[in-house]
Structure 1
Amino acid sequence: MNIDIKLHKGDLPDDIKLGNVIAVDGEFMGLNVRRDPLCLIQISAGNGDAHIVQLDRSKYNAPNLVKTFSDQSITKIFHFGRADMAHIKYYLKADTNNVWDTKIASKLARSYSDSHSLKTLIKEFINIDISKNFQSSDFGGELTPAQLKYCANDVIYLHKIHDELMKILVREKREELYKDCLKFLKTRVKLDLALFKDDIWSH
């Protein structure tokens, strides 16, 4: 697949048209929301495109991104949206509405597997073995072409993967369970930000 990568500084352009179903991912300096800043947001409309926004971390002023995340009419596909949504809420002060999540869908649909990583899903459903060598790299400075490609890979396949997972969920009659899990996702993000990391349902 030819990937059309566009790097934007600070925010999405005012005139960009991404459609009503987009794939979204974020890159941070680590997984501790309060310590590790949100550096990048990647978005794909599902046409081999990747719009990578390098945020201005001095002020996090990105009204077009905030509007996109808040828009109920735009569906956002994440893979493990819990981490991305927490960083978006903490740094951009935005709630992310109307979310799908391929990791949650995979755990419900692919009960035949213990591996639910994005790399595994791309291999199974797209038949491409992507490199994750830059998963733990510095996204806080100037970005290399290899880092940009890594970021693009995290979003360009999510539309297709979600479609394939939904076929399994419907076939196995787990679609409603998936939708119910998604309803709890924003609450799980609030619990994370309130520092409740443990499973509150456990004994």
Structure 2
Amino acid sequence: MSQTQFAAGATIHIHRHDLPDGLDLGPVVAVDTETMGLDPRRDRLCLVQLSAGDNSAHLVQIVPPALGGRGADCPNLKRLLEHPGVTKLFHFARFDLAMLHHALGVTTAPVICTKIASKLVRTYTDRHGLKDLCRDLVGIEISKQQQTSDWGSAELSPEQCAYAASDVLHLHAIWARLEALLVREGRRELADACYRFLPARAKLDLLGFEDPDIFSHR
């Protein structure tokens, strides 16, 4: 089952359980998740958002079997997340990769993270949130009002759908600006090395190595 909504000029497709067969989102796909909380080991994955950067978003509701859903039975979504020829574009990939691995059993790769890119080249500011990047790099104001709403609800509100879509609709444009800055500052190769490490970093988090950090001196 899928539905289509329209919000602020964008097209939002809502899918229950999985992406539809045959959907091609191109070589670079923006991805985000919505969850019941911020602990991937405790809180369940509720929604996966994807965009090809074409002003449309696909929202996949992940419903556990106990609530009448299929849980991790989403072969089209998992195939895309693991596809070596498709780059997955995130903001703060570390959390999303851990959540996707724990909930769906996938190692999402290859990846790009706009938060890491911003921290590598926008060293003149401490504002690296998605809302900041949307405003500072592409001149778009997004609302974070629905961030802490109930994403486990069987029916998402239009406001929730618009919020979830906004988290992926602008990532391609943001990455284009950040990639140019990485090249200009000679840090693109360093960024790529960070991105290659992210799946391992996410697995370390799931094993409890977030604190203590095995890379710290203490």
Q: Provide TM-score, normalisation by structure 1.
A: 0.98
What is the Cα deviation at residue 163 of structure 1? 0.8
Other-structure match for 2:20: 13
Other-structure match for 2:179: 166
The 5-angstrom pairing of residues 73-152 of structure 1 reads 73-141=85-153, 142-152=155-165
Alignment deviations for residues 51-81 of structure 1 (CA, whole Å, 9 cap, x no partner): 0001122232100011001100001100001
The 5-angstrom pairing of residues 32-51 of structure 1 reads 32-51=39-58
Q: Which runs of 5+ in 1 are unaligned?
A: none
What is the Cα deviation at residue 33 of structure 1? 1.0
For the pair 1:176 / 2:189, whether they are aligned, the reply is: yes
Alignment deviations for residues 71-127 of structure 1 (CA, whole Å, 9 cap, x no partner): 000011000011111111111111101100000100001111101000000001111
SS at match of 2:186: coil
Structure 2 Cα separation of the partners of residues 137 and 41 of structure 1: 15
Percentage of pairs with the same residue: 49
Structure 1 Cα separation of the partners of residues 137 and 44 of structure 2: 32
Alignment deviations for residues 125-181 of structure 1 (CA, whole Å, 9 cap, x no partner): 111111100111110012000000000000000001011001111101111111111
Whether the aligned pair in 1 keeps the contact of 2:33 and 2:47 (CA below 8 Å) is yes
Other-structure match for 1:191: 204
SS at match of 1:6: strand
Structure 1 Cα separation of the partners of residues 215 and 63 of structure 2: 38
Structure 1 Cα separation of the partners of residues 150 and 208 of structure 2: 25
What is the Cα deviation at residue 35 of structure 1? 1.2
Report the RMSD for the aligned CA atoms in angstroms.
0.9
Structure 1 Cα separation of the partners of residues 25 and 189 of structure 2: 28
Moved >3 Å (runs of 4+): none
What is the Cα deviation at residue 15 of structure 1? 2.0
Aligned residues: 203
Structure 2 Cα separation of the partners of residues 98 and 122 of structure 1: 23
Other-structure match for 1:154: 167
Equivalent position amino acid for 1:195 in 2:
G
What is the Cα deviation at residue 183 of structure 1? 1.7
Structure 2 Cα separation of the partners of residues 184 and 19 of structure 1: 23
Of 14, 33, 53 in structure 2, the residue corresponding to residue 26 of structure 1 is 33
Other-structure match for 1:202: 216
Equivalent position amino acid for 1:187 in 2:
A
SS at match of 2:33: strand
Q: Provide TM-score, normalisation by structure 2.
A: 0.91
Structure 2 Cα separation of the partners of residues 18 and 128 of structure 1: 23
Structure 2 Cα separation of the partners of residues 34 and 168 of structure 1: 35
Q: Which runs of 5+ in 2 are unaligned?
A: 1-7, 66-70
